[in-house]
Structure 1
Amino acid sequence: MINKQSRTLSACCAEYERRYGRKPPLHFDKWFKAARDRDFLLTDEFDSMMAAMEPLWGVAPSDIRARLENVISASQGEGMYRFTVSQGKQSFTNPQNWMGSIFNYWFSPEILQTLPDMTLAMNTMDEPKVVVPHDMLSYALDAAHTPREGPLLPGKYPGLAQHVDFLDIGKQNTWDALSLSCAPDTVVRDFSLEATRSPFLTEMGFLSNLTLSKDVCQFPELHDIHAGLRHPASMRITHALVPIFSQAKASCFNDLLYPSPFYAEKLRSGEYEEKHDVDWEEKDNIVYWTGSNTGGYSTSENWRSLQRQRLALMTMDESRPISLLNWTQQPGNQSSEWVSINSTIAAISNFTRVRISAAIQCDDTACMEQKDELKIKSGDRDDITDGYQARYNLDIDGNGLSGRFYRLLMSKSAVLKQTLYQEWHDDWLIPWLHYIPISMDLRDFPEIVRYLTQESEGQDLGRKVAQSSYEWSRRVLRSEDMRLVWWRLMLEYGRLVNDDRDQMWYKN
């Protein structure tokens, strides 16, 4: 990946046009120079962020701008903030919000002088907002890719073309509302089909394709085992195709991804302090996770199926049957191979330290049940540095992205990552190199624990992953990297919402 990155402006422009079918935006040269001056490593890797913007090229800019105004006015007090850029200056509707300091840094004078006037809708809530029905999404993509004479015209019925409604689907089953973005011939909408390629149908449950494993449209079982899909604590969505910037999303959402201000603030404040960390050889040979039960709204009916609670219940039940692998010589054969054997959680209990520290976001009965069954003690929280004593740190989704991910990547421990969410860095962090992915149903978790802690080659792999993430995070997850990503997104977005967007390209 590093060797393939463009080293010159002309090469970067050519690669941009090859990937995205259009020329780079105005002032792309200024962005590229700044990126090179600041040792920005991955100048070409923006596919995930660009893919989210692509359908909006099929909507007239005037309709987009009107939808934005409707979104912002309909979302007052709901974690949606207006950012405006006008004549080289930016303003924020709530400058007292702690995120304002991050955005002020990102909207530096160097960046502002390259941006056209524009308005942004910034979603600061954990949950994403936009679920566009599949037929509307397909139509917009077709319009974006169809050659035409002149600009794309706005809708003839502005009241319909520019209207935005929000649906409140928090604390309830979300599936009917979220699955609308899936194609009619996918498993979640055509009930005659079977998920034959599901990574959860293999014997051990190992993930061979991380992107595929997070495709909500292909695998309806994800809806039952992830709190953010099954029973979110809060979620207000729109079915309108409107550009809302969100920090993370499941595959059925159409929000625009941007670097999370939570990550940026933790980097700015120096949350990870190496003096509190210890070298690999000094760490306990265990997998560690502790945290609250966030992720959704818990009821007596659902809490045992939500991701964090399922992990705790699994590791607490020593008699729970599991499958492990054993290196076995075959009868009458000189060779050996890995063979699945039946076992119980007791086989790995000494190699895990997992605990739920608080029961929140639940009704009274569910809170009491969780405190009792999960043995939760009030105020019994671990220190942020406790995880550094373990060779392996597990990271799991909460209400949205896990804000501890970058800190764990920067540590000298290896990260095991269970997530359903897409984030802006997905093109930059390589599974099995910078972290070890865990399937959402946890079927692979016991064998991964056994292999990484009890096999010498597994421990070698863990050490390599820990070293890779330690080094890589310091090259591509710097505060300056996030600012440059934001700048690139703003160049793209500023062109997208401008009436002259078809002429706003960099002429090299």
Structure 2
Amino acid sequence: MSTRPMLTRVPSDSPWTVSNQHRFSQRRWRPLLMFTLLACSTVAIFTVGLPVGVPISTFTFTSSSKVTSDHPSALSYSTHPITRMMKEAEERFQAKIDRQSKTLSEAIEEYKHRYGMPPPKGFDKWWEFATKNNVVLVDEYDTLMRDLAPFYALRGQKDLGDYADEDEDPSRPGSGLDHQGWALGGGHEMRRRISEVAGVASIDMVQIRKGNLSTVSISKDGFVDDEVSARAKGLKAMLGSSAANLPDIDFPVNAKAEGRVIIPWDRWTVAGQGGMTGEKIGLGMGNRSYIEDSAPHDTKDTLHPLADFHPDWRGAGNVWDKWRRTCPPISTARKSYASIRSAIVEGTSPSHHHLLMGGTSDATVPPPFAFAPSTSFDTVSFCEQPHLHYTQGHFFSDWRTLDDLYPVLSPARAKGFGDIKIPSHYYYGSTQAYTYGWDKVKQKVHSVDLGEVAWGDLTDVGPDGQGGVDDRDLVIDPNFDGHNNTSNPPRNRKTGKESKRNKIFWRGATTGGGNSPPGFAALYQRHRAVRMADWDAEGDVEVWVPSTNPIANVSSISVSSSGTPHSPTNVDAPLKAHKIPIAALNKALMDVAFVKASNANQYPGGLKKLKEEHRFADGVSLGNHWQYKYLLDLDGMSYSGRFMSFLASDSVPVKSTVYEEFFSDWIEPWLHYIPLSSSYEEIYNIFGYFSGIPAEVVEEVYGDAVDPETGAPLFPPGTKIPAIPGAPDGDERLQHIAQAGKKWKNTIARKVDMESYVYRLALEWARLNAVDRESMTIKV
């Protein structure tokens, strides 16, 4: 048993609930879904400083008290959770920028402080590369080290000559460690496992030999992706700047989007606080150590464990059954064979929803007003709420997972998986579908995409300057596609200026999960989002906005000379609720639809039922997205490959994901993008904060309203019904996020930053593969 400490593993999380207020047309599919859940339950269980990524604020942040458990009626604009989270995000990011090492010696000391050991050999050349290319976050590689830490626990096999008894530190007999604290024979074992996993279908190899790079596909078991995958080719391209400085090493790359490695809980042991060998990898990073299998992985007379590995489940298991074994034995997921409670039923509890959002258990907080502080990767536990696994497609992947510690490089990973993250080839390469500014004709990337649209003015501005949104004030050319036709972008008919549309936009295919076990596609993340945004959805939702509008303060209404009702502006007015039909909101601010039905036979009821229950629209080019202020970003089979392009635009990504990517420690939610829970419910109050309530919605809901004191019509005939504004500087704040995200993409997530990341990964990888790890450690 190894004594090498492992990083703390937090249970996975990904919520989906539906509040009592609105059920998004579930009546159409709930009976079939409940039947499917019950029928399948027996199967299913199983540069530096402010300019870097932070535009200078043009508005003042205000401090606030703790608001996570306050009812919105007790809040105002200054104490609104979004106001607070934006302030805290900017402060966190600026502090991170300020503390980065300025010299090589500082970087070495910071490395030793964080990870309890000297950096790998070649760190000085990496530092040269990083500083020459103005890499900003030179110290922020914790996510990489968390991925690699378990592999330091691997120990070789003495009977195969990986090490001898005399190699062991005499002061720690039986420890399996040498005098430097490295696991004996770890390099041999690492290379053995790389060789084994390279024979698995959809695992490709990137090799370095004498500084030269190549890609290899060894054995693919007859699957359609026999060719070397785009992900392997992408890693090869990213390693191009560093290969000449690296030894001969191999990198197994996952050709699939889904994660491949799941290691059960009982393969880990708990050591003392900080680990028994805290002076090495893991100092301050957790106290769990990997336990190697007592059976040998290979002998001269037997095949290695993956020799007869089947790449798909073939009805002999599923991801969830493997994944739940990563949870502690006392967890709900382990104690119960299956959870057949539907997420739909469980989700009717507001307090339950708020816990899913990472907040408190105060049941007085309306679910649609509980905002996610970050993505779902960082919040709720599937281990304690296992019924929620039905709502995420990655638990239904058709690809069999590896349940031992194999080194596999993947572009993203969900909680509980053991894949090692690398930058996505979609982010590094240049394609029409995934790259902002890509000019296919000239084969170059422009700094500004041909389809980009100026932010523009608020489209519905009252006589006192207060503004809401009403896209009816925009002139829209239906032929504008941001690609072939960019000559006539949306314009404000009052000012004639270009203006992005105040809508939440998404287009995509029905991808989201496999079919193992079958029957659960209705609950996958994309399907839920499209149904929620349906223009015929049933029920109401409460939208809370500052009461700087006539609807919330009917007694203070006056009428301007133009005949438009208005009220005095109150920059810190209390929040007031507006109960609005979900269909009215969706028509005004949602444009969400599928464009392609992939594997429609996997949906209960087939293609006919899929199209009955979801909106479908024509496909759009990537450039078409830039005419919208809000860009919804949703997981597919794995992470979303469009996120970087969204960040590079002048629009705001609203991202919901259960995945962690290589840049997760580099980016700040609520500064560079808006995080969205996996329930999606709070999206209406996010829109309300930044953009208010559109005039067309106000007209539908309050058009016949009367003043309760006088009984007179609130809006006499001929009166223009205004939009209800959100935060006093809401549109300005929204644009601030768009600008911050764009600057972050252009300073911290450049191609060269991805090259820096894989360069650091390669140095660590070389040490892990070394027979003598001390020789692959920098001498300081």
TM-score bracket for this pair, using the shorter chain length:
0.7 to 0.9
1:15 aligns with 2:110: yes
2:357 to 199, 204, 215: 199
Farther-moved stretch of structure 1 (244-253 vs 441-450): 441-450
| Equivalent residue, structure 2, for 1:163 | 305
Distance 1:342 1:360, change over 3 A: same
Q: In the alignment, does 2:758 pair up with 1:481?
A: no
Determine if the alignment matches structure 1 residue 92 to structure 2 residue 208: no
1:370 corresponding residue in structure 2: 610
Question: Quick one: which amino acid aligns to residue 106 of structure 1?
Answer: M
1:385 counterpart = 2:603: no
Would you tell me which structure has more helix in proportion to its own residues?
1
Q: Distance in 2 between matches of 1:224 and 1:123?
A: 25
Contact 1:58 1:144 in 2 (8 A): no
Map 1:111-260 onto structure 2 (within 5 A).
Answer: 111-138=242-269, 146=277, 157-159=295-297, 163-164=305-306, 165=309, 168-169=312-313, 174-190=319-335, 197-199=355-357, 203-204=366-367, 205-210=370-375, 211-213=377-379, 215-229=381-395, 231-232=396-397, 234-260=398-424
Equivalent position amino acid for 2:265 in 1:
H
Structure 2 CA distance, aligned partners of 1:320 and 1:170? 41
Once the two structures are superposed, residues 19-72 of structure 1 have per-residue CA deviations (whole angstroms, 9 ceiling, x without a partner) of 111110001000001100011111001111110110111102222222222211
Give the structure-2-normalised TM-score. Answer: 0.58
Structure 1: which amino acid aligns with 2:629? Answer: R
User: How far is the alpha carbon of 1:342 from its aligned partner?
Assistant: 4.2
- Residue 630 of structure 2 aligns to which amino acid in structure 1? Y
Amino acid at match of 1:240: D
Secondary structure of 1:286's counterpart equals strand
Q: Which residue of 2 aligns with 1:322?
A: 541
State yes or no: 1:286 paired with 2:503. Answer: yes
Aligned-pair distance for 1:107? 2.9
> 2:133 matched to 1:38?
yes
Which stretch of structure 1 is more off in the superposition, 125-134 or 444-453?
A: 444-453
Superposed displacement of residue 115, structure 1: 1.9
2:650 to 403, 406, 412: 412
- Residues 175 and 367 from structure 1, CA distance in 2 versus in 1: closer, same or farther, beyond 3 angstroms? same
CA deviations over 1:290-315 (Å, ceiling 9, x no partner) = 11111113799423321111111111
Q: What is the identity, as a one-letter code, of the residue corresponding to 2:407?
A: P
- Confirm or deny: 8 A CA contact 2:197 2:252 kept in the other structure: yes
Q: Distance in 1 between matches of 2:264 and 2:512?
A: 25
Q: 1:291 is matched by which residue type in structure 2?
A: G
Q: Distance in 2 between matches of 1:106 and 1:348?
A: 44
Matched-pair contact (CA < 8 Å) for 1:246–1:256: yes
Write the deviation string for residues 192-223 of structure 1: whole angstroms up to 9, x where unpaired: 99989432766333213545326543543541
- CA shift in 2, pair 1:491/1:306, >3 Å: same
Give the unaligned 5+ runs of structure 1.
none
Structure 1 window deviating more from structure 2 (157-166 vs 492-501): it is: 157-166
Query: Which whole-Å CA distance do the structure 1 matches of 2:248 and 2:273 have between them?
Result: 28
Change (3 A) 1:83 1:24: same
Percent identity between matched residues is 27
Contact 1:83 1:122 in 2 (8 A): yes
Deviation at 1:13, TM superposition (A): 0.5
- Aligned residue pairs, count: 495
Do the aligned partners of 1:58 and 1:140 also contact (CA within 8 Å) in 2?
A: no
Shift of 1:117: 2.4
Q: In 2, distance between residues paired with 1:22 and 1:268? A: 44
Indicate how the Cα distance of structure 1 residues 217 and 52 shifts in structure 2: closer, same or farther if over 3 A, else same: farther
- The amino acid across from 2:193 in the alignment is R
Q: Say yes or no: does 1:304 pair with 2:522.
A: yes
SS at match of 1:391: strand
For residues 141 and 341 of structure 1, the distance between their equivalents in structure 2, rounded to whole angstroms, comes to 54
2:243 pairs with 1:79:
no
Residues in 1 aligned to 2:279 and 2:109: alpha-carbon distance in whole angstroms: 23
Which residues of 2 match residues 326-475 of structure 1 at below 5 A?
326-327=545-546, 337-338=574-575, 342-349=579-586, 350-363=588-601, 365-376=605-616, 380-454=618-692, 455-456=726-727, 457-475=729-747
Asked whether the 8 Å contact 1:72–1:121 carries over to 2, the reply is yes
C-alpha deviations, 1:51-101, integer Å up to 9, x for none? 01101111022222222222111x1xx321122223333331148654565
Cα deviation digits, residues 233-253 of structure 1 (max 9, x gap):
x32211111111111111010
| Bigger Cα displacement from structure 2, 482-491 vs 261-270 | 261-270
Alpha-carbon distance between aligned partners in 2 of 1:326 and 1:315, rounded to the nearest angstrom: 21
C-alpha displacement of 1:324? 2.4
Q: 1:322 and 1:429 mapped to 2: Cα distance?
A: 31
Q: Secondary structure at the match of 1:82?
A: strand
Alpha-carbon separation, structure 1, partners of 2:622 and 2:432: 17
**Whole-angstrom distance in 2 between the partners of 1:366 and 1:268:** 31
Stretch of structure 1 that moved more, 172-181 or 495-504: 172-181
Q: Is the 8 A contact 1:179 1:188 kept in 2?
A: yes
Alpha-carbon RMSD across the aligned residues, in angstroms, is: 3.4
For residue 103 of structure 1, report the CA deviation from its aligned partner. 3.5
Question: Aligned to 2:761, what secondary structure does the other structure show?
Answer: helix
- Contact kept, 8 Å, 2:434 with 2:641, in 1: the verdict is no
1:83 counterpart SS class: strand
CA distance, structure 2, for counterparts of residue 30 and residue 361 of structure 1: 48
Structure 1 residues 320 and 100 mapped into 2: Cα distance closer, same or farther (>3 Å)?
same
TM-score, normalization by structure 1: 0.88
Q: Is the 8 A contact 2:545 2:689 kept in 1?
A: no
- Shift in CA distance, 304/450, structure 1 to aligned 2, threshold 3 Å: farther
Cα distance 1:478–1:170, how it changes in 2: closer, same or farther (>3 A)? farther
Q: Is the 8 A contact 1:315 1:354 kept in 2?
A: yes
Residue 199 of structure 1 aligns to which amino acid in structure 2?
M
Deviation at 1:419, TM superposition (A): 0.4
Q: CA separation in 2, counterparts of 1:133 and 1:278?
A: 49
Return 5+ residue gaps in structure 2 as ranges: 1-95, 156-185, 218-226, 281-289, 340-350, 438-448, 457-498, 554-569, 693-725
| Separation (CA, whole Å) in 2 of partners of 1:186 and 1:155 | 24
Distance in 2, Cα, partners of 1:198 & 1:279: 36
Residues 247-284 of structure 1 show CA distances to partners (whole Å, capped at 9, x for unaligned) of: 11110101111111121113799931222201111100
Counterparts of 2:319 and 2:291, CA distance in 1: 34
* Distance apart, 1:366 and its partner CA: 2.4
- Per the TM alignment, residue 400 of structure 1 is displaced from its structure 2 partner at its CA by 1.0
Deviations 1:461-504 (A, max 9, x none): 21110010111100011111111111110000110121211342
- Return the offset for 1:148: 10
Residue matched to 1:59? 154
Give the CA deviation at 1:506.
0.9
Q: Higher mean Cα deviation, 116-125 or 409-418? A: 116-125
Distance 1:292 1:143, change over 3 A: same
